[in-house]
Structure 1
């Protein structure tokens, strides 16, 4: 049953990955994600249905437009394949559980918002708003499924704590992060709070840990001591996943080290 579910979820991820590419390309440009149909940005020719199959269409065309021969970015099959793989792994590990939709929502927006942040250094409201709405709906499903109202309270506390912390950090040092990070923080805090206090604490700390590691590496590669600009959104997401996956054992290890257990 789990293998069938994982395969189904992976196929859903493949299709969703195709839509992710549309969002990543069009939203920062202020375009609609619904219309017009996909077209070549070089010549404007409509992409034929058989060439629009995720991953395989790009391979069939050998990464070139069928009409003008212009190169098609390899990002398209990478995003589609990555979404399918991540969805499949989540389906295999979690199984048919109430948290499955929440994790799939987190995975989709991790890929989309990280790609957009890397490319534009922005986290657009047109993507953050659906992320917040779908996350809230998925959290509600978890609460109803678990029959535990305290889960919703933890999510609310997580959202408030993350939102307040990032807002204070932004006001104290605006150059350190964008306001999009501030708006992203409550959503991630709510998701982590849904899973538990350990996940919330570790996920919050891990974002700054990963951001610091990448920032130091970037300075080393550029041989600079300061002034290196990196997007922080992707590391907030990586921190959140760190909290979800290893938050509980990491928190236990830390408490044991400091002698609190």
Structure 2
């Protein structure tokens, strides 16, 4: 086994293990429960989960998706979060290697994972993640290559301010709340970690993806034209797109625009 393959496997396993903790955050933060105590337990029978039943991915397969204590089905969310976080960590490692940038973006993407699944189920984005994330992203900007505190600060102001203007504008035009404060804080956190140049891409990409998916869902659920669709997951997906392919996509878009004009 080569060193590169070994490190890649370690990155995936590390991401999956952290994904197990992210599941705890996803389940407990909306309920204002501690993510540390009590230890992991079945949410239905409250039976404590033994260490050998808490191995990411493997335990779920061995138990066939059921609790050892009560035999009831365990949500597919648990292995899904572990798998996605493992794959995302592996992708970050292959892209950035064992660097400080990798660690910072790993923390950022793990936070996005928690936010995505909480927003999908509860339509909220917990301040416990976004607000400390804004501060951490700004602090990390002093130590990251090709980044600066000014870039991060402008990103915070542009990210939070742009959605705040959209929210006020929508409320002024319709008299209704169209965007939650959680989305505003989330985009400010993204600006802190990724800088101001990421914000236009994230807004455009998330709006495009959200429009396509939203229209598709409304066509499927024709009887419910007021279907509530959380925007946080689209912002998170667009931020991950920017990390890996943002600059290439922007360059492709600008090149395409220039060729169409000529």
Residue 246 (structure 1) shift: 2.4
Cα pair distance change 1:5/1:133, threshold 3 Å: farther
Aligned to 2:243: 244
Residue 188 (structure 1) shift: 0.8
Residue 129 (structure 1) shift: 3.0
Aligned to 1:78: 80
Residue 226 (structure 1) shift: 4.3
1:120-131 → structure 2 map (5 Å cutoff): 120-131=122-133
CA contact (8 A) 1:17 1:84 kept: yes
Matching of residue 234 in structure 1 with residue 233 in structure 2:
yes
Post-superposition CA distance 1:47-104 (Å, at most 9, x none): 1121111112222222222122122112111111111111012111221233212221
The alignment's TM-score, normalised by the length of structure 2, stands at: 0.87
Aligned to 2:151: 154
Residue 7 (structure 1) shift: 2.2
| RMSD of aligned residue pairs (Cα, Å) | 2.2
Corresponding residue SS for 2:66? coil
Matching of residue 165 in structure 1 with residue 149 in structure 2:
no
Aligned to 2:16: 14
Corresponding residue SS for 1:63? coil
CA contact (8 A) 1:90 1:103 kept: yes
CA contact (8 A) 2:138 2:152 kept: no
| More divergent stretch after superposition (108-117 vs 36-45) | 36-45
Which runs of 5 or more structure 2 residues have no equivalent in the other structure? 172-176
| Partners of 1:243 and 1:80 in 2: CA distance | 22
1:34-53 → structure 2 map (5 Å cutoff): 34-53=36-55
CA contact (8 A) 1:2 1:95 kept: no
Aligned to 1:31: 33
CA contact (8 A) 2:138 2:149 kept: no
CA contact (8 A) 1:204 1:240 kept: no
Corresponding residue SS for 2:215? helix
1:53-64 → structure 2 map (5 Å cutoff): 53-64=55-66
Aligned to 1:202: 201
CA contact (8 A) 1:40 1:47 kept: yes
Post-superposition CA distance 1:127-178 (Å, at most 9, x none): 2234334433433331xxx3x6x63222211211111111111122253221
Cα pair distance change 1:224/1:135, threshold 3 Å: farther
Post-superposition CA distance 1:230-258 (Å, at most 9, x none): 00001111121222222222322333344
| Partners of 2:129 and 2:201 in 1: CA distance | 25
Cα pair distance change 1:250/1:74, threshold 3 Å: closer
The alignment's TM-score, normalised by the length of structure 1, stands at: 0.88
